[in-house]
Amino acid sequence: MTSVSFTAQRDGTSSAAVVVFVGEGGQLSAGAQAVEAATGGQLGKAMKAANFTGKKGKVLEILAPSGMVANRVLLAGIGDATKADARTFEDLGGEVAAKVQTLEPEVVADFSGIADLAVGTDVAAAHFAHGLELRNWRMDTYRTKLKDEQKPKLASVVLAGAPPAAKALSERLQKVAAGVAFTKELVTEPANVIYPESFVERVKKAVEPLGVKVTVLDEKDLAKLGAGSLLGVAQGSVRPARLIAMEWNGTGNPDAVPLALVGKGVTFDTGGISLKPGPGMEDMKWDMGGAGAVAGIMVALAGRKAKARVVGVCGLVENMPDGNAQRPGDIVTSMSGQTVEILNTDAEGRLVLNDCMTWTQRTYKPKVMLDFATLTGAVIISLAHHYAGVFGNSDALWAKLDAAGKAVNDLVWRQPLSEPGGHYDQMIDSTIADMKNVSGREGGSITAAQFLQRYVDEGVEWAHIDIAGAVWRPKAGPLHDKGATGFGVRLIDQLVADHFES
């Protein structure tokens, strides 16, 4: 993790990269004015030459500035100061990290004299550091031939001139960043490293020291419970299935009703007998992204000691096509007693989730339940990689998720869903069992959600979050490189902070 520290004023004898802020029209902050004076007007000249006007999100780099020990100065544009919010500074922190990650061990961001922002300077500074830390994550575990100039160097950020209140907020955000990093780690690891048993061990190692209670069910336990739907997916693999439940209770009340989170953990998905095409199949190591998100959320909430009771349940399987794999046409009996006709073994995530949802509701009696899953390619066709699709039975819960997503830029978009017996629901009726696991190409994300809705107990507010397009992105963004995004951790941390903490 990137260390964050504070100082009353910038140390002019440091060689660290210096970040100063510029508003719309080239308005220099007090810190930028000090650098302008020290360099004999070099900032103004560089801004003019580069046509840099302080536009929001733009960063101008000046190398080896005269009159300074610093190796480089970065001018960070905040645009209209009165509209510069937490997101503005997060994105700038991420942009700075991307520029200097392999070049500088330390960044000093000078917040001296910044005023009239849309948020307090303490919030701006803390979120700048948060954005830098999120973007600075990368995994080099398996890269053995990196040259020195390719290796990451950035290890710390110093916030100069930030108000004292920034420290507590920054410490909270660092715990959230740890959760995001853990999710990225799990999602990025290859399937020969992260499989059901090793996922459990890595998660236990991460959450138990934080005070999270962990319960693990093996394949024998699941068989006794009648989890035929989940176990049917796992039966084609030599990797046995697992269910892991993580419980954090920061309320002080052992009887507090928990918020329940359920994650799809298909650690590798070949499609089973309904085999996927070969090209791109390597991406299916991240088909456990829902479980990865739930684990990261628990790290974040327990790390910052959220005053809420939250349980995270992950169903963990590997979907393989061996001689013992389930076949199209098979019928399985889920833990709820409902039967499912398997028409496509590649529609396996919903088969894992339904038993996890049933067990979660029986065990914890939640009033609100959210599930996270890289469930359908169809949601990527609908929303690309910009939003996760949300389906649910509660307008109020949707509104809370939407607001939380906009606050942290984990964006969600609501999709349609029928009431039980409605037109979309009828599409998954089977002629031989209670339901079938696929309906056809039309409305694929919707019918997957309809399937899950049949496992939601009466009176439970529920939302299904299809993160297939959001968990892994083909291009870098402000707060992540190409690859794992850590989507969902900040979304639910914000939701909990807004609505579930006492």
Active-site positions read 276, 350
Query: For residue 230, how many C-alpha atoms fall within 13 Å in the half-sphere facing its CB?
Result: 34
* SS3 state of residue 148: helix
Helices and strands in the chain: count of H runs, count of E runs: 15, 20
Strands 435-436 and 339-341: parallel
Amino acid, single-letter form, for residue 440: G
| 17-23 and 27-28 strand pairing | antiparallel
Residue whose C-alpha is closest to residue 431's, from 370, 298, 341: 341
Q: What is the chain's Cα-based Rg?
A: 24
Structure tokens at 470: 């959001």
Residues near 301 by beta carbon (within 8 Å), at least 6 away in sequence? 179, 248, 250, 308, 310, 492, 493, 496
Amino acid letter, 449: A
Q: Report the alpha-carbon distance of residue 109 to residue 35 in Å, rounded.
A: 12
Q: What angle do CA 465, 408, 123 make, to 5 degrees?
A: 160
Residue 283 to residues 144, 150, 184, 191, 264, Cα–Cα distance (Å): 22, 25, 14, 10, 16
Burial group, residue 384, by CB count within 10 angstroms (0-12, 13-18, 19+): exposed
